[in-house]
Structure 1
Amino acid sequence: MSWQKEVDEIARRRKIAEDLGGAEAVERQHAAGRFTVRERIAKLADPGSFREMGAMAGKGTYDAKHNLVSVRPSNAVIGTIKIDGRKVSVDGDDWTIRGGSSEATVSEKWIYAENYALEMRLPLVRLVESAGGSVRLLEQQASTKIPGYPTWLMASMLGYIPVVGLALGPCAGLGALKAACAHFSVMVKGTSQVFAGGPPVVERGMGVKVDKEELGGSHIHTRESGVIGNEAETEEEAFDMVRKFLSYLPSSVFEAPPVIDCDDPRDRREEELLSIIPRERRRVYKPRRLIELVMDKGSVFEMTRHYGRSVVTCFARLDGRPVGVIANDPMFYGGGLTRAAAEKMEAFIDLCDTFHLPVVNFVDQPGTVVGPEAERMGTVKGSVRVVSAIEQSQVPWCAIIVRRLYGLAGTTYGRLQGINLHYAWPSARWGSIPVSGGVEAAYRKELEALSPEERAERLAELEEMYDHLESPFLTAERFKVPDIIDPRETRALLNDWLDDAWRLLPEQLGVKSRTIRI
């Protein structure tokens, strides 16, 4: 006698699970412009690589003879997939069943997928679309519960494996937490929203009537709050971002970042770099173009572009080796450090340090942004936290000072302890405050006693004198900057540095003394 009957039952139950919440619920999901959880997994995964776990979990109904009448599947779909040949753990919410409610499912199921990723040292991808908790659960349990999931190692896993949160529809309560508590997070414009409580909760609790998009759309969280990093136009674009993000990172902190073949010459010289920084100090330039000219062609992947916009953070490669890249963007606040930019920079430094990506910092820092609003936002505290993140990091670091370096935020250019490796372009200038404005303040009494014509002449003399004193060559004469370089040599220099830096990575593999700060 065989077990064919039971094997047939396995197939039957898996078919029920594959049907999700039924044809009508799937149709409503598609009408809302969103894929189902199983379609999402299929689009993200290498073809045929999904190995599902817990397909038979759910709530079964039986007749008097214990025959299965129906099953409402769990609204969590979990398992492992491969992305570009590398295994990844995935857990996805099924909106077609009870709106993906976190309390309408078997909570142990999605937690199992996350703990599996942690124990097996696999990257984790969350496909989030959840209405959060539901009071209907009280009818079933006849009691309430204290919030939280003791078996969910939410925070500690961030120090071990790459975690990705994709907000692919409404994400409330726990859904918002799962999307945001990640190294890399993405929202889809127009079809996903993230909030602690949805519009009905806000209206009842605060008397404010808003729709889902006004409350927690991508324009809010990728530009104003910083809760989510990237914005995608479509779900397919979001999946592509996930593939690119993971391609730079190891599967866990116990491995080195992946290296790919590269045919871009290590010593490529770009003539454009010689004039990319304008001589006129009030003119701006495009920092992303600078990064593209130095890094491997086509290798730049930017994160959190629309938040903290005076700082650019991205992954890139040098001779096929992944690095983290930071640059100031003079098009926003002159590149000055705002509280938002400080938060963005701090999180990125922690990310690179956790997963052993050496950091290249292209510095054009005019200082911490000043003014009443900046003080209310605690911008000084933001600068302090960035300095702390840099000093606590262990990953190799190299700064290229391309233009300005002033004030409190000027100390965020690199790790001051140790060798403090940094180079300057001829366009670099630094000091406690810029000459412009500083001269007028220092010589105010003298200047006020002069006629307008005399004042202008004297001010020009003073600025010329101090401009000479700001020359990077004078600093180099005292070996207070290791070297001044031809901008066209930057790529070759960084590749030589990375040869040395890469040799240090094996001894840094493993868990840091602290987990990452999100």
Structure 2
Amino acid sequence: MLLVANRGEVAVRVLRAAADLGIRTVAVYAEDDASSLPVTLADRAVALRGPSPYLDIDQLLDAAEGCQAVHPGWGFLSENAAFARACSERGLAFVGPSADILELLGDKRRARELAASLGIPVLDAAPGKFPVMVKAVAGGGGKGMRAVLRPEDLDSAVEACRAEALAAFGVGDVYFERLMPSARHIEVQLVGTSVIGDRDCSLQLRHQKVVEIAPAPLLDPLLRKALHSSAMAIASAVDYQGVGTVEFLVSGDSFAFLEVNPRLQVEHTVTEMVSGVDLVRTQLLLAWGGDVDFTPHDRGAAVQVRVNQTSGGVLSSFGLPAGPGVRVDTHGYVGYRVGTRYDGLLAKLVVHGEDLDVALNRARRALREFRVEGVATNLEFLHTLLDQDIVGATTDFVAEEPVSGMRAPLAGTVVAVDPGSVVLEAMKMQHVVRVSGDVLVSVGDTVTEGQVLASGAGESDEDVAEVDLEHVRPDLAEVLARHDFDRPEAAARRHARGGRTARENIADLCTSFVEYGGLAIAAQRQRRSLEDLIERTPADGMVAGIGVVNGQRVVAMSYDYAVLAGTQGMRNHQKKDRLFALAQQENLPVVLFAEGGGGRPGDTDHSMVSGLDCGSFHAFARLSGQVPLVGVVAGRCFAGNAVLLGTCDVIIAVEGANIGMGGPAMIEGGGLGTFRPEDIGSLDVQVPNGVVDIAVASEEEAVAVAKKYLSYFQAPAGAQVSAGAQAHAGPQAHAGVPSPNAQPSPAPSGEPLKTILPDSTDNFGSWNCADQRLLRHAIPENRLRAYDIRALITTLADTGSVLELRQGFGKAIVTALVRIEGRPIALIANDPNVLGGAIDADAADKCARFLQLADAFDIPVVSLCDTPGFMVGPDAERTATVRHLTRMVVTGANLTVPFGLVILRKAYGLGAQAMAAGSLKVPQFAISWPTGEFGPMGLEGAIKLGFRKELDAIADPDERRQRYDQMVAMAYEHGKALNVASVFEIDDVIDPADTRRWIATALAPATSRSQGKKRPFIDTW
């Protein structure tokens, strides 16, 4: 069974050919095609729905149930590779070339490139030179084509071609060709890689062919051979299968490739008449795998004339010519209602004769026998055209029809005739056409594009009213009023408590912002008036949209605590779902201001029972690991709001914030006691326990830190290494020019970080740094003395670039985002002031999550190691040390980003290996400062454990102590960095002032991220 995925005359042609072969058929029809002839000819007919039904792949494939093959006809989806591929996936034979060939040849630009690669001339359009031809990349039939003679006409021509191509073929792309005037349009017919014949299609009106002749007359034999050879070369290059046509322009003895139509052509009939090859039968036999003989036999000449409708209506009379050598292909019949929605081809008159003179006379006679009443046609135009000498004519032979009145700019139905204007309706839209003179149409008439509407030769003399640019129409005034979100009383209450409104925070975060769903209101119309909801629940308590931060787009959203306490309502859940989907599709970071009280019980406009099918939490969690997620909280944040906050990669909390999985009402409802909101999850709990990454003093500071955090993920993936890498650089700017975005020095160690990037920053190529010679003195000569690791990091990193995360939690390791020569780096460092730098369970968890964050977003890692190892002992084991510490080891071992190791001082045992991502040979470089000391465990402990018997055998305590000190000194000498480097366990021992050069040079940039995720998600803990 065969599905004919088309309409009109071509559907009739294919249905009849299939019936001749005994193949059962299925036709499809749109609502306005229900009475068409294909519906009655097919064994089964399936209705299609929608505005573009013949372009709806899913509907067409559903209609093909029980079929073995699909014939696409011409136009519509006949050259659509996606359709051919979809047919194949459904197990249907596509009657035509493969999807890959359609993808290549159906794209006219790629087909031109192929022809040029084979040495076939093409019409290249020189930039800025006119005239040019604008052509649709897909489709054919003259649709989506405009000749442009002047530069000022180019934009409008491109727009018109795109619109026409999109409507006809579903693809709106266009390209340019050099216009070759006074040329002939010659086509070569293919079956597979064999040439069946050629034809002349030069007689065209508005790029639509009206008369075709086969074989092409007055063609030099050598030129004909060159055209055939070029067509065969293209077909052979792609191993062409099925029926197709290669088109050329010919001028004198030269020619140029135009395009390939990898499908059946409207004018295939004239080639059939002179070659004796039934091309549609051939197509079907090839699709069914039958024996096919398509050897052409030259037999005289043939002419095809296209009879087109120029208006809609009902065919009250439809008399067709007959006689020897006359063939008419049509879908028309008496009583058929002819619409104007599709191509205007009504019938094809095809005649054959022993030579071209006989064929042309026969065509003239047959045209006189045509009788069409009920709709207007081009028959009179065709009579006039064939009475002229058309043999050897060029494409500009047929002049545009003279304008003898005001013409319709589009096809449609006349719905009103007013003084000075005619109103046309098309696709549910009305178009006013200004006219003068006598109006020639009436209300209810269906007109085609270009049809004369009135006798006047120009616009009416009526003055065109000037537009008052300051005037605001009532419809716009209503919209502007609804977008006035200013609520002075609510803002004043917010300011009185030292806070800012949701819109103020968004405005501070984003340099530009477009809001989604600003007109939404709470879903409470069953219990409150519309006026009250508009006034009191703007945006349903959530400001959400896409903004620009540091010069790049982000999704920004803020619960509005002034609207129903920032609760989660039905509409703002829908907004979140919409924005989360956009973030996923376009890889946009998300900044969420999460203040609010969780779920809202007061919404009534729904049939919800439990609400557990809400998808917002799932959608937001799915973004983890794909895009940076930033949570900002001031005030109270409970229940569902806290869940969204906790999903974020980083939580920035303002002093006085409270964060909890349940607020007072939920706690009391659970029988767990009565508490004030400020008693739940204050920052003195949530900072040291690791929930909050960064604590700040104000919402202003929170926004500034959010911008700074995002900047590490918005910077280029890798920076150029400067000559010498400024190993001893002082505070001068990179490249010798102070950066317009230069940042102030960071706050003293231990204080909240307040330095930020200006919100207009989009250039991270400029940087400053401290004099790197200071690093030579960062670690005391006395190996037992502690030092300030944060001061060391501040000196090492670009000035003002350090942003520490979770400073109050897992204090034995510092985790910070920094920059080295403008390049983002994820830095981990042991803090000798906490547990002597030993790694406990909390520090390991903190470090493991930070490494996941860096890995997910391709930020290289630098590890500054100074650790005596993991924490051990009974107290440590009560914290599940075995699992937590190995979590850091497992995460480090599976990093995919570049990793560099710098040993500052101690590098002992498994703790040092964890800081090295598992081994000293794993990092891209493992270097040490001169203060570095190495060992499988703490050297004192190693001596006591390894030499216990020897030491116990010394009876004199002083002598035993002296011997012990000697052994320790020997062990330190053995484990010092220089000795370790001598056996190449590390790459080098360096001058500390040279550390930045090693990082900038040896740490390879991470590869650019592709869309999607590297890691399934980032641990929330």
TM-score (norm 1): 0.88
1:306: Cα distance to partner?
Answer: 1.4
Q: How do residues 372-383 of structure 1 correspond to structure 2 at under 5 angstroms?
A: 372-383=874-885
Can you list the C-alpha shifts for 1:320-368, whole angstroms capped at 9, x where unaligned?
2111111111111111112211121111111111211111111112111
Relative to structure 1, the CA distance from residue 294 to residue 464 in structure 2 (aligned partners, 3 Å threshold; closer, same or farther) is same
Is the counterpart of residue 333 in structure 1 residue 835 in structure 2?
yes
1:103 alignment partner, one of 569, 586, 605: 569
1:217 alignment partner, one of 682, 693, 697: 682
2:811 alignment partner, one of 309, 312, 320: 309
> 101-110 or 138-147: which moved more?
138-147
Is the counterpart of residue 270 in structure 1 residue 772 in structure 2?
yes
Letter in 1 for 2:970: M
Can you list the C-alpha shifts for 1:356-394, whole angstroms capped at 9, x where unaligned?
111111111211112333212122322211111112111
Which position in structure 1 is the counterpart of 2:587? 121
Relative to structure 1, the CA distance from residue 30 to residue 106 in structure 2 (aligned partners, 3 Å threshold; closer, same or farther) is same
Is the counterpart of residue 76 in structure 1 residue 545 in structure 2?
no
Which position in structure 1 is the counterpart of 2:705? 241
Q: Does the CA-based 8 Å contact 2:904-2:929 persist in structure 1?
A: yes
Q: Does the CA-based 8 Å contact 2:812-2:831 persist in structure 1?
A: yes
1:91: Cα distance to partner?
Answer: 1.2
Letter in 2 for 1:466: A
2:638 alignment partner, one of 157, 169, 172: 172
1:438: Cα distance to partner?
Answer: 2.7
* Count of aligned residue pairs for this structure pair: 501
1:163: Cα distance to partner?
Answer: 1.1
Relative to structure 1, the CA distance from residue 397 to residue 67 in structure 2 (aligned partners, 3 Å threshold; closer, same or farther) is closer
Is the counterpart of residue 430 in structure 1 residue 895 in structure 2?
no
Instruction: Supply the distance in 2 between the matched residues of 1:26 and 1:78 (Cα, whole angstroms).
Output: 18
Q: How do residues 279-358 of structure 1 correspond to structure 2 at under 5 angstroms?
A: 279-358=781-860
Which position in structure 1 is the counterpart of 2:899? 397
2:506 alignment partner, one of 41, 46, 50: 41
Letter in 2 for 1:52: E
SS of equivalent residue, structure 2 residue 893: helix
Letter in 2 for 1:380: V
1:29: Cα distance to partner?
Answer: 3.0
SS of equivalent residue, structure 1 residue 58: coil
1:28 alignment partner, one of 482, 485, 493: 493
Is the counterpart of residue 494 in structure 1 residue 960 in structure 2?
no
Q: Does the CA-based 8 Å contact 1:60-1:69 persist in structure 2?
A: no
1:54 alignment partner, one of 500, 517, 520: 517
Is the counterpart of residue 444 in structure 1 residue 948 in structure 2?
yes
2:979 alignment partner, one of 448, 466, 474: 474
Letter in 2 for 1:230: I
Which position in structure 2 is the counterpart of 1:189? 655
Q: Does the CA-based 8 Å contact 2:654-2:698 persist in structure 1?
A: yes
Q: How do residues 190-209 of structure 1 correspond to structure 2 at under 5 angstroms?
A: 190=656, 192-205=657-670, 207-209=672-674
1:44: Cα distance to partner?
Answer: 1.8
Q: Does the CA-based 8 Å contact 2:523-2:570 persist in structure 1?
A: no
Specify every segment of 5 or more residues in structure 1 that has no aligned partner in the other structure, as ranges.
Answer: none
1:87 alignment partner, one of 547, 553, 560: 553
Instruction: Supply the distance in 2 between the matched residues of 1:29 and 1:419 (Cα, whole angstroms).
Output: 51
Relative to structure 1, the CA distance from residue 428 to residue 510 in structure 2 (aligned partners, 3 Å threshold; closer, same or farther) is farther
Can you list the C-alpha shifts for 1:26-67, whole angstroms capped at 9, x where unaligned?
443333332121121122222xx221111111148989xx99
Relative to structure 1, the CA distance from residue 459 to residue 172 in structure 2 (aligned partners, 3 Å threshold; closer, same or farther) is same
Q: Does the CA-based 8 Å contact 1:356-1:509 persist in structure 2?
A: no
2:914 alignment partner, one of 412, 435, 441: 412
TM-score (norm 2): 0.46
Relative to structure 1, the CA distance from residue 69 to residue 277 in structure 2 (aligned partners, 3 Å threshold; closer, same or farther) is closer
Which position in structure 2 is the counterpart of 1:4? 473
* Percent of aligned positions that are identical: 29
Letter in 2 for 1:58: I
Relative to structure 1, the CA distance from residue 137 to residue 371 in structure 2 (aligned partners, 3 Å threshold; closer, same or farther) is farther
Letter in 1 for 2:711: S
SS of equivalent residue, structure 1 residue 312: strand
1:507: Cα distance to partner?
Answer: 7.2
Instruction: Supply the distance in 1 between the matched residues of 2:890 and 2:839 (Cα, whole angstroms).
Output: 15
Q: Does the CA-based 8 Å contact 2:767-2:799 persist in structure 1?
A: no
Which is helix-richer, 1 or 2? 1
Relative to structure 1, the CA distance from residue 11 to residue 61 in structure 2 (aligned partners, 3 Å threshold; closer, same or farther) is farther
Can you list the C-alpha shifts for 1:48-101, whole angstroms capped at 9, x where unaligned?
x221111111148989xx996752331111112222322221111111122111
SS of equivalent residue, structure 2 residue 941: helix
Instruction: Supply the distance in 2 between the matched residues of 1:375 and 1:206 (Cα, whole angstroms).
Output: 34
1:426: Cα distance to partner?
Answer: 1.7
Q: Does the CA-based 8 Å contact 2:664-2:675 persist in structure 1?
A: yes
Relative to structure 1, the CA distance from residue 52 to residue 442 in structure 2 (aligned partners, 3 Å threshold; closer, same or farther) is same
Letter in 2 for 1:464: A
Can you list the C-alpha shifts for 1:378-416, whole angstroms capped at 9, x where unaligned?
223222111111121111111001111123222212234
Specify every segment of 5 or more residues in structure 2 that has no aligned partner in the other structure, as ranges.
Answer: 1-431, 433-470, 720-761
Which position in structure 2 is the counterpart of 1:13? 482
Is the counterpart of residue 453 in structure 1 residue 958 in structure 2?
yes
Q: Does the CA-based 8 Å contact 2:645-2:651 persist in structure 1?
A: yes
1:119: Cα distance to partner?
Answer: 1.5
Q: Does the CA-based 8 Å contact 2:573-2:616 persist in structure 1?
A: no
Is the counterpart of residue 230 in structure 1 residue 735 in structure 2?
no
Instruction: Supply the distance in 2 between the matched residues of 1:213 and 1:367 (Cα, whole angstroms).
Output: 40
Letter in 2 for 1:218: L
1:198: Cα distance to partner?
Answer: 1.6
Can you list the C-alpha shifts for 1:480-504, whole angstroms capped at 9, x where unaligned?
1111112122122222214xx12x5
1:107: Cα distance to partner?
Answer: 1.2
1:506: Cα distance to partner?
Answer: 3.1
Instruction: Supply the distance in 2 between the matched residues of 1:55 and 1:229 (Cα, whole angstroms).
Output: 31
Instruction: Supply the distance in 1 between the matched residues of 2:530 and 2:658 (Cα, whole angstroms).
Output: 41
Relative to structure 1, the CA distance from residue 70 to residue 175 in structure 2 (aligned partners, 3 Å threshold; closer, same or farther) is closer
Q: Does the CA-based 8 Å contact 2:590-2:629 persist in structure 1?
A: yes
Instruction: Supply the distance in 1 between the matched residues of 2:545 and 2:930 (Cα, whole angstroms).
Output: 54
* Larger Rg belongs to: 2
Q: Does the CA-based 8 Å contact 1:98-1:104 persist in structure 2?
A: no
Instruction: Supply the distance in 2 between the matched residues of 1:263 and 1:176 (Cα, whole angstroms).
Output: 37
Instruction: Supply the distance in 1 between the matched residues of 2:530 and 2:766 (Cα, whole angstroms).
Output: 60
Instruction: Supply the distance in 2 between the matched residues of 1:61 and 1:442 (Cα, whole angstroms).
Output: 76
2:864 alignment partner, one of 346, 362, 365: 362
SS of equivalent residue, structure 1 residue 481: coil
Relative to structure 1, the CA distance from residue 68 to residue 419 in structure 2 (aligned partners, 3 Å threshold; closer, same or farther) is closer
Is the counterpart of residue 261 in structure 1 residue 768 in structure 2?
no
Relative to structure 1, the CA distance from residue 201 to residue 348 in structure 2 (aligned partners, 3 Å threshold; closer, same or farther) is same
Letter in 1 for 2:911: A
- Cα RMSD (Å): 3.0
